[in-house]
Structure 1
Amino acid sequence: MPDATPDSMPDEDDWFALTASARKRTAYTEDLYFRECWADVVDIFGADRRNWLNPMAMFAFKADGVAGRRLRPTMRYFAEQGFRVVGVAPFQHNRQSMRAVWQYDWHVYPADRLSLCSLMHAATPSLLLLLVDVRYDGVVPGTMRLSELKGSSDATARSPQQLRSVLLPPHRVINFVHVADEPADVVREAGIFFDRADRRRLFEQARDHYDDDLADLAYAEIDELERLYPASDFDLEAAFGRLAAHGVTLKDLDRLRAARDCGPKLRWDELAAVIDPADPATDVWDFVRIATEVLPMERPGLAGTMPAPTSQDWIARAGRPLSVAR
């Protein structure tokens, strides 16, 4: 008796429509999250999957975006830039998911930053959206265009019109939002964020409402998140003031300010000895804001291992056009 049918993997036309990166294609062929979710994509979108996926973008608010109340300005930005909401899914990062999403970048950062990000990304539930790019040109995928509109976490590397500039992040680590770069990343990251039933529900919602706008549903989820989880001003000096009001000594505050300014950076355990992030009385976002200034944030001389294609890479391949949008 023959073996069971093997998993369906992308064919050549699929890979062409999924990524402009040969490195990513090789890596994702062996990636569990991509492979598992691709089976759902094939099942739900069928032979027309490229026409469904390529105008689509996947956007996630980070937990700091909830605390910073950046969800509503971002929704307005979507409308201004030509994106409609077609899928809405609450989610919450955990220790494993936040490592998996950015697994090709974590080696750039010290272990203490990994501890910080483990705390901040899982601090509250958040919201993930599937969007359709109504300006999709048949060449540059919707999620690629939105990724470039998002802008870098480095303020010196983005324009005033990009989303992160509009949202005014207080630090490159506290940057509020995440966008899947390419259609291949939409598939892989949906496999990370959601179990099978939830991601299938999300994709079916997008398929069934592809020509609708579910912004009202997204705003209802935003209302609930803002009702349940307090806001933070992410103001560094105000955070120091609140620490003083809660009994942190002047000596410890001076030590934190010295590490912020020009003194040696602290280690995670040193910071936690002053402000215990596990203490229910600790404001997690005051801890995060101070941690971004006093912990080491980079390992010099290293870069991410997964290339980041640009819209120009997609345009350069346009001699073989992608499918026309629905």
Structure 2
Amino acid sequence: MTSTGSNPFDRMPSDTGWHALTDSATKRELLSQDLYFRECWADVTDAFGPDAHDALAPLALLSFKCDGIAGRRAGATLDFLAGNGFTVLATAGIRHNRHSMRELWRYNWHVYTTDRLELMTLMHGAGDSLMLIVRDDRYDGIIPAAVRLADLKGSADPAKRGPEHLRTVLAPPNQIINFVHVADEPADIVRETGIFLDRPGRLRLLEDVVTALKNDGHGGRAAAEERLASLEAACPASDFDLDAAFDRLGNAKLASPAALSTLRTAAAGGTPLTWDELTALVAPQTGGWDFVRVATAVLSADRPGGPDLLPPSSADAWRARA
């Protein structure tokens, strides 16, 4: 057992380690008490040794959301990673439940209405998905891979991103359906792996990462493609086109003409519907991804104000402190 602190039974990063894991003093304070971070950090130090923070610097985490599987964005995402100098090292199957998704986005979802939380529970728990650990082959010793990839992901606001961003390439229909998630910093890789996976799963993933690093990542993309193809085969595809979703719901008689009229009016800028009003018009269990697409257009999504409790870092911030 490797210890990074004075108590071998409660291992935590040293000051040097924290400096390499996050640019945020607030994040350090919160994660030092976070159950998921603490559990996974012990596993990470077992896998990588006392300099685990250095081992994490060239690594990043990307996970596909269920809508990313349904939207068939896997191939475009893998191409984007390769084109920007990231090599897939290892994968792990994941599936959210209502608790894990709230833990993952604990510091972001406080701005959501309770109706949107219902929708997120449906969306993110809809099926199995996949997380990737990738290596930044362009790592410069200053900007951690997680930070560079988070910057490359781009803003949820289309007006704030360019053609170089992953979200532009994936062309999400709105800010709610956005297909993939990326850990913001090395510290978030640790915490999020602790949320996604139980200890046996974490140990398998970390062993796979260590092995892949020794093999220079050979076969990592092929393994990811195989697993993603299996997930897509088990998941109905969706184009996430709003007008087409309305048409399909009507043609399948999953919503009455009167219900569709109400939904179209709300989607066109009318008074938003509540979750209960929406589900009285279309049943989530039968509407599938078309229900999800319509829901993103007719619900009131956000509460007033309230920035992220942990604003994401940036490559500029890391570069400035170097």
TM-score range, shorter chain: over 0.9
Question: For residues 33 and 16 of structure 2, what CA distance do their matches in structure 1 show?
Answer: 18
Q: Which residue of 2 aligns with 1:200?
A: 203
Q: Distance in 1 between matches of 2:146 and 2:108?
A: 20
Contact residue 249 and residue 287 of structure 2 kept, 8 A: no
Structure 1: distance between partners of 2:112 and 2:49? 40
Give the equivalent residue in structure 1 for 2:31.
28
Q: Percent identity?
A: 50
Distance 1:10 1:177 in 2: 29
Q: Distance in 2 between matches of 1:298 and 1:227?
A: 33
Contact 2:20 2:54 in 1 (8 A): no
Range with greater deviation from structure 2 (309-318 or 165-174): 309-318
Report the 3-state secondary structure (helix = DSSP H, G, I; strand = E; otherwise coil) of the residue aligned with 2:106: coil
Looking at structure 1, the residues matched to 34 and 54 of structure 2 have their Cα atoms a distance apart, in angstroms, of: 23
The CA distance in 1 between the partners of 2:287 and 2:169, in whole Å, is 26
How many Å apart are 1:307 and its aligned residue?
2.4
Q: 1:20-99, aligned counterparts within 5 Å? A: 20-99=23-102
Determine the C-alpha separation between the residues in 2 that align with 1:242 and 1:151: 32
Higher relative contact order (CA 8 A, sep 6+): 1
Pairing 1:295–2:296 present:
no
1:286 aligns with one of 290, 294, 298: 290
Q: Structure 2 counterpart of 1:132, which letter?
A: R
Confirm or deny: 8 A CA contact 1:56 1:141 kept in the other structure: yes
1:5, distance to aligned residue in structure 2 (A): 4.2
Distance 2:223 2:258 in 1: 49
How far residue 161 of structure 1 moved from its aligned partner, in angstroms, is 1.4
Specify the SS of the correspondent of 1:209.
Answer: helix
Matched residue of 2:63: which SS?
strand
The offset of 1:300, in angstroms, is 1.6
What CA distance in whole angstroms lies between the structure 1 residues aligned with 2:8 and 2:307? 40
1:216 aligned to 205, 211, 222, which one?
222
CA distance in 1, matches of 2:288, 2:259: 18
Out of 268, 272, 279, the residue aligned to residue 272 of structure 1 is 279
Cα shift at 1:262: 2.2
* Contact kept? 1:267, 1:295, Cα under 8 Å: yes
Please, which runs of 5 or more residues in structure 1 have no aligned partner?
Answer: 319-326
Would you say 1:241 and 2:247 are equivalent positions? yes
Q: 3-state SS of the aligned residue for 1:36?
A: helix
- Specify the alignment match of 2:263 in structure 1: 256
| Amino acid in structure 2 at the alignment position of 1:275 | V
Shift of 1:176: 0.3
Aligned residue number for residue 323 of structure 1: none
Matches of 1:302 and 1:46, distance apart in 2? 39
More divergent stretch after superposition (255-264 vs 63-72): 255-264
Matched, 1:305 2:309: yes
Shift of residue 81, structure 1, vs aligned partner: 0.2
CA contact (8 A) 2:94 2:131 kept: yes
Deviates more, 1:42-51 or 1:261-270: 42-51
> Could you report, residue by residue, the CA deviation over 1:110-133 in whole angstroms, capped at 9, with x for unpaired residues?
000000001001111111000000
d(CA) in 1 for partners of 2:41, 2:8: 15
Residue of structure 2 equivalent to 1:321:
none
Equivalent-residue separation in structure 1 for 2:48 and 2:30 (angstroms): 23
Once the 2 structures are TM-superposed, how far is the Cα of residue 94 of structure 1 from its aligned partner?
1.0
Unaligned runs of 5+ in 2: 1-6
1:250 Cα offset (Å):
1.6
Shift of 1:50: 2.4
| Cα separation, 2, equivalents of 1:301 and 1:245 | 40
Partner of 2:112: 109
1:51 CA drift (Å):
2.7
2:3 — aligned with what? none
Q: Is the 8 A contact 1:24 1:307 kept in 2?
A: no
The whole-number CA distance in structure 1 between the counterparts of 2:173 and 2:268 is 16
What value does the CA root-mean-square deviation take over the aligned residues? Answer: 1.1
